[in-house]
Amino acid sequence: MSVRVRFAPSPTGFVHIGSLRTALYNYLFAKHHGGVNILRIEDTDRTRFVEGAEEEIIATCRWAGIEFDESTEKGGPFGPYRQSERTEIYREHAAMLLDNGNAYYAFDTSEELDKMRERQQAAGIAPKYDRSIMRNQYTLGEDETRRLLDEGAEYCIRMKVPLHAEISFVDSIRGPVTFQSRDVDDQILMKSDGFPTYHLANVVDDRLMQITHVIRGEEWLPSTPKHVLLYQAFGWEAPQFAHLPLLLNEDRSKMSKRKGDVFVYQFREKGFFAETLVNFVALLGWNPTADREMFTLQEMIDTFTLEKVNKAGAVFDYKKLEWMQSEYMKKSAPQNFVSVVKQELENKGINGIDDDYVVRVITLLRERVQFPHQIADFGNYMFEIPKSYDDEFRNKVWTEKAQQALPEVIALLRSAEDFNHTALHQTVQAYLAEKKMGFKDVMNPLRLLVTGKSVGAGMFETMEVLGKQATLERIDAMLGLLTH
């Protein structure tokens, strides 16, 4: 049987970085096995529904390079792929369970349930629906149940969990896992609003959509016995489960928005590349080899296996993410960033810069910045004559000695025929040798004159890209600023 997996997010807000990884692993797994990757929207909780969230999920996955073979957008042979459009299916399946004695009606109000839990907590026992004393089909009897139903009373349908049974399954990542049914609650299957809970919907859909592997976050591990029981109640074979380790904050708690950025869009807005985020997040909990960090999507597809997924949660290390971003910044083609840089320039009121020139500037500066959008600011002097300078730097390098030497160096530049960096380097070097001075005496002041800044690319390389005329213009202008 060919592999079919699903990413099943709830449209309740922005895509969490952990969801991105779950989606990614599902995708990698599907592609690795030549299988099918499905997007299913789990919107059975109307109270948490967020307008536009579904679109955001799709857009985010697309940005990350994660493709779906079947989805709400694309359709497919097992649709609809939005659970809110499948309520009739869940109703039918709940009825099947009612018929075969694996589910029952319950009429308790939330107040009554709260009280029950309070009592249990006070008595020091685990909070769990007590079907022997609450208001349900069993305690009320068939006639009364029928009457309440006919009368239109609010009800929900609960799963009848066996009293004493052992529930086991083999998790692809964790191995055999066993629960006792006495610890499993009589989970609500159909809510009083007519919508199913996650548990019912997920089992029914995974079955109907012929899902072979359920790859999801570890937070689902404790409710998996409910799902296993449901498969049994329906007489179905359960899919293979794989519970992924959690992504953690620095304090090792589940990664949450209270402790920093957790939404994909936040990283995207900061300028992180999809490649960076995908590569980084993939390696949080999975590693195909010990000696590499950088992988293309295709390489990940080729090497992905669940056996290589770790069991323990992984702390999201922002510093390492930044390092990886810098790596991608350096290795990506400068052409990719031209439009970003030009947009930044336009924001600064600088227009009409030649694309080729922008590429040369990006090539010059990309090792010094983390994101393309920083180039316009970091290298402003490449696009305009600086109107200010770094005061601290000036005080440090604009020395008596420098002021004496600079005019001659500038004259050298002015008369230079060849303005490429090697030629410039040789010219200045020869001059310095003659004067018994070092680069240090003259290069920093020169940097001040050309850029106004203390940091940047190599000075000769900078001047080469700038060109003779622009270099001299900047020097003259800065000289004017400095002497006022």
Partner RNA sequence: GCACCGUUCGUCUAGCGGUUAGGACACCGCCCUUUCACGGCGGUAGCACGGGUUCGAUUCCCGUACGGUGUACCA
Q: Which residues are catalytic?
A: 257
Asked if residue 464 binds RNA (CB under 7 A), the reply is no
- Nearest-approach distance from CB 114 to RNA, in angstroms: 8
Q: Tokens representing 43?
A: 């919107």
Q: Is 110 exposed, middle or buried (0-12, 13-18, 19+ CB in 10 A)?
A: exposed
Q: What is d(CA 457, CA 63) in angstroms, rounded to the nearest whole number?
A: 32
End-to-end CA distance of the chain: 80
DSSP E strand boundaries for 206-287: 213-217, 240-244, 247-248
Residues, the chain:
484
Asked if residue 104 binds RNA (CB under 7 A), the reply is no
Q: What is d(CA 271, CA 163) in angstroms, rounded to the nearest whole number?
A: 54
- Nearest-approach distance from CB 310 to RNA, in angstroms: 5
- Nearest-approach distance from CB 307 to RNA, in angstroms: 7
Q: Tokens representing 164?
A: 């004493």
- State the virtual CA torsion across 193, 199, 205, 206 in degrees, nearest 10: 170
For RNA, the binding residue among 44, 136, 279, 427 (CB under 7 A) is 44
Asked if residue 290 binds RNA (CB under 7 A), the reply is yes
Cβ 332 vs Cβ 371: under 8 Å: no
| Binding pattern for the stretch 411-430 against RNA, x by CB under 7 A and - elsewhere | --------------x-----
Q: What is d(CA 297, CA 27) in angstroms, rounded to the nearest whole number?
A: 10
For RNA, the binding residue among 14, 45, 162, 181 (CB under 7 A) is 45
Asked if residue 127 binds RNA (CB under 7 A), the reply is yes
Q: What is d(CA 432, CA 383) in angstroms, rounded to the nearest whole number?
A: 30
Interaction with RNA in 4-23: which residues (CB under 7 A)?
8-10, 12
Q: Which one-letter amino acid corresponds to residue 249?
A: N
Sign, CA dihedral 79-99-184-174, equals negative
Q: Tokens representing 17?
A: 């970085």
CB-based contacts of 307, cutoff 8 Å, min separation 6: 172
Identity of the residue, 10 or 60, whose beta carbon is nearer to RNA in the bound complex: 10
- Looking at 25-33, 87-95, 123-131, 265-273, which segment touches RNA (CB under 7 A)? 123-131
Q: What is d(CA 459, CA 397) in angstroms, rounded to the nearest whole number?
A: 15
Interaction with RNA in 231-250: which residues (CB under 7 A)?
245-246, 248
- Looking at 308-316, 341-349, 406-414, 476-484, which segment touches RNA (CB under 7 A)? 308-316
CA nearest neighbour of 457 among 468, 469, 443, 470? 443
Q: What is d(CA 130, CA 474) in angstroms, rounded to the nearest whole number?
A: 82
- Looking at 143-151, 295-303, 310-318, 353-361, which segment touches RNA (CB under 7 A)? 310-318
Question: Between 53-64 and 17-32, two packed helices, what is the crossing angle to 10 degrees?
Answer: 60
- Nearest-approach distance from CB 183 to RNA, in angstroms: 4
- Looking at 127-135, 338-346, 349-357, 471-479, which segment touches RNA (CB under 7 A)? 127-135
- Looking at 232-240, 259-267, 320-328, 411-419, which segment touches RNA (CB under 7 A)? 320-328
For RNA, the binding residue among 55, 92, 144, 219 (CB under 7 A) is 219
- Nearest-approach distance from CB 74 to RNA, in angstroms: 20
Interaction with RNA in 151-170: which residues (CB under 7 A)?
154, 156
Asked if residue 175 binds RNA (CB under 7 A), the reply is yes
Q: Tokens representing 206?
A: 């995974």
Asked if residue 191 binds RNA (CB under 7 A), the reply is yes
Asked if residue 252 binds RNA (CB under 7 A), the reply is yes
- Nearest-approach distance from CB 349 to RNA, in angstroms: 26
Count of chain residues binding RNA (CB under 7 A): 87
Asked if residue 85 binds RNA (CB under 7 A), the reply is no
- State the virtual CA torsion across 288, 291, 294, 297 in degrees, nearest 10: -20
For RNA, the binding residue among 52, 75, 407, 458 (CB under 7 A) is 458
Interaction with RNA in 376-415: which residues (CB under 7 A)?
none
- Looking at 52-60, 65-73, 305-313, 347-355, which segment touches RNA (CB under 7 A)? 305-313
- Nearest-approach distance from CB 484 to RNA, in angstroms: 24
